[in-house]
Chains A and B, each alone.
Chain A
C-alpha cells in the first residue's frame, strides 16, 4: 500500500534539502564560471608558462574523483591550518572542480571558431580585444551554452556527494528519513524524482535558451 501521508511529509522535508542542494550547486557553478572565464583566455592566449599551469590545474581536477577532492578540502586542508565548515568546503570544491570542466568547455568553444573569423576581423583593422569581444565570444558562447547547461545539471547531481561531509542537502535529508523510518524504497525513489524534476526542467530551459540565441539560418533547429 502506498502511504500518501508518509510521502507527503517526506516530500516536504526533502524540499528543505533541495534548497541547500540548489544553493551549493549554483554557487559552485558560478564560482566555476568566473574562474574558467578568467583561466580560458590566459590558457589560450597567454604565455606558455601560464598556459601550462592552467592546463595542469584542469587536468588534475578532471583526473581525480570529486569525492576525493571533497575529502581533501574538508579533512586534508585543516592540516595546513585551513579550515572550512562543511557547506563552504562543499561549495568551494564544487566550484574548483566545475571550473576545470567549464574551462574545457570554453576552450573547446573558442577553438571551434574558424581562424578565418579572426582573419576577417583583423583585416578590418579590429584590435585583439574587439575581435574577442564582438566576434569570437558571441559565437563561442552559442557553442558553449548547451555544454554549460549540461555541466550545471551534472553539478546538481554530483552535489549529492557533499552529503558525506555532513551537508544536509537533498540526499542527506533522504538518509535521515531512511535512518528513522527504514523505508528506503519510497524515500530514495522520491529523492531521485526531485533530482529528475530539477534536472529535466533545466534541460528544457537550456533548449529554450539555445532557440533564442540561434543564429538565423546558421544552426538548424532540428537535424
Chain B
C-alpha cells in the first residue's frame, strides 16, 4: 500500500441482522485502477456504496486521503464531491435534461455560476461523445447514452476517485462497447478508479489490480492477468469458470 487515496479497515456492513460485508480491508492507491469481481449477491455493490456512506457501515473505518470519513464530525457531502460514482442503472434525474443533470450539481454543490457550469457540462459531454444530446431528457436516450451522461456527470465534479458499479451490466450488448471505450479513455488519464465489473477483457485492459469478493469477504487479489489465468482459490476458480462459460 503506497499513498492510498482510499482505504478501509475492518469494514462491516449489514442489512438488519444480515452481514453483507464482513471485515473488509482494502485500498486503492492514487492513480491506481482497481477492479472488483465476484458473484451476484457477494456484496460488491454494497461495498462500493458504503465507501461513500450511501449505505452506513456497521463497524470499521474508511479513510479518504487519510481522513476518517466515518467520523461524525466529517462533512460527508464535502467528501462525496471529490469521489465520483457511476451506478449500474445510470440513475440520471429523469426530470432534467442531460445538460441540467450535470449543471445542477455543479451549481448547487460546487457553487459554480450557471454559464461556467454549462461550459463545463458541454466539455464533459463532448468527452463522452454526447454534446449533441445535451438538451435531451434521459428517457429520450439509449441505455448506453444515459450511462455516458452519468459518467460525464461524475467527471464534471473533477473527482479524485471514480467508483463504478457494474457500469455495463444493465446495458443491451450493442451498447456495452461504447461505454467501455469511454471508460478506457478515462482510465488512461490517470484517475484513481474502483470498478465492479464482469467484463474480464476490459478488466485486463485497464486494471492494475483485481479483487475477488465472495460472501462479503475478499477471497483473493492480484494482477488481473494472473488472477484470471491462474486463480489460487477454489471459489475464484469456479466463479471464473462460470463467467467464461457465460461469455
Contact = CB atoms under 8 A, between A and B. Distances in A.
Interface residues of B, number: 28
Contact of A116 (B87, B108, B137): B87
A142 B139 CA distance: 16
B140 interface: yes
B87 A124 contact: no
B139 A215 contact: yes
Interface string A111-132: 0000011011111111100100
Chain A interface residue count: which class? 20 to 34
Interface in B92-107: 92-95, 104-105
A218 B139 contact: yes
Given A215-B137, A215-B139, A216-B139, A130 B108 contact: yes
B245 interface: no
Contacts of B77: 122, 125-127
Contacts of A135: 93
A215 B87 contact: no
B157 interface: yes
A contact face: mostly helix, strand, loop, or mixed: helix
B247 to A, nearest CB: 27
A61 to B, nearest CB: 31
Given A125-B78, A125-B109, A215 B94 contact: yes
B89 interface: yes
A134 interface: yes
Contacts of B105: 124-126
A219 B93 CA distance: 14
Contact of A124 (B137, B138, B153): B153
